[in-house]
Amino acid sequence: MHVENNPDFKSIWQLAHDWAGEESNQTDPAAISSELRLAIDRLIRAIGSKEISARWKGRRIFIDDSFLSFIFDFWHAIKFYRWLIHNKFSKDYLDNLYVKRNEVITWCEKVALLDAPSCWSHKKLAATDQAKYELVDPDDENNSWYNKISERRRQRIVCIELAKQLWEENRDLSYEEMQNHPIMKQYGYSSTFSSKPFKNLVRIVASESAQMPGAPTKSKE
């Protein structure tokens, strides 16, 4: 099975988008968000330092420091150099450079000390967690379920729920106004997201007015 059809592999472009909470088919490569840029940078640096492996068209690159590997991987080294020094990249290149699931998860947990991208986060434990929730009331007095949620996911949940309440009070609020709402800024962690990831996050609870194409950036008074 080729890596592009194997669920245990994802391209840097795909995985970085999932990590940043963005849609890969909606990104303008000429104007990527700071969250996406950081996700790409982390993965590129991990590959460059051989903390995780990478595959290009099925062939592993940067296997060792031998002269033969240097010759074969020189083109890739140039691509990495352009990103690390000049922050320039090719979408086509990143979308054909693949990393492996178990290596990324291990690297996140033991080296980078980060939550793994959501597409690969606790996949194996999902069925077990569901069984636990069926046996134990999630609203029990111990609230043990709360400690199983990462801090980042808690922030996302609060942000979504708060946006839902604020839109119920004022349906005319735009995405920009919602993100900059005093209550959202104080309690909803909106400042931890740039505009596009915030929009993608709260879209599921957004009012019809906010979702309309060409919606104004300021609400009617």
- Read off the pLDDT of each residue in 89-111 and give the average, rounded to a whole number: 92
114-137: string of b/e by CB count within 10 Å (b at 16+)?
Answer: eebbeebbeeeeeeeeeeeeeeee
Helices (H), 108-221: 126-135, 151-169, 175-179, 182-187, 195-202, 208-211
DSSP 119: G
The pTM (predicted TM-score) of the whole model is 0.55
Q: Could you tell me the two tokens for 146?
A: 């709360």
- Read off the pLDDT of each residue in 13-18 and give the average, rounded to a whole number: 93
Q: Is the pLDDT of residue 127 over 50?
A: no
Q: Point out which residues pair with 97 in neighbouring strands.
A: 56
Tell me, what's the pLDDT at 45? 94
Give dist(CA 128, CA 146) in Å, integer.
16
Q: Could you tell me the two tokens for 200?
A: 């993608």
**Which of 219, 151, 218, 216 lies closest to 189 in space, CA to CA?**
151
Q: Is the pLDDT of residue 8 over 80?
A: yes
The angle at the Cα of 154, spanning 151 to 155, to the nearest 5 degrees, equals: 90
Give dist(CA 109, CA 114) in Å, integer.
6
Lowest model confidence (mean pLDDT) among 57-71, 75-89, 160-174: 57-71
84 φ, ψ (degrees, to nearest 5): -65, -30
* Residue 71 identity (one-letter amino acid): I
140 vs 120, higher pLDDT: 120
Digit-coded pLDDT (tens) for 61-75:
998 888 778 888 899
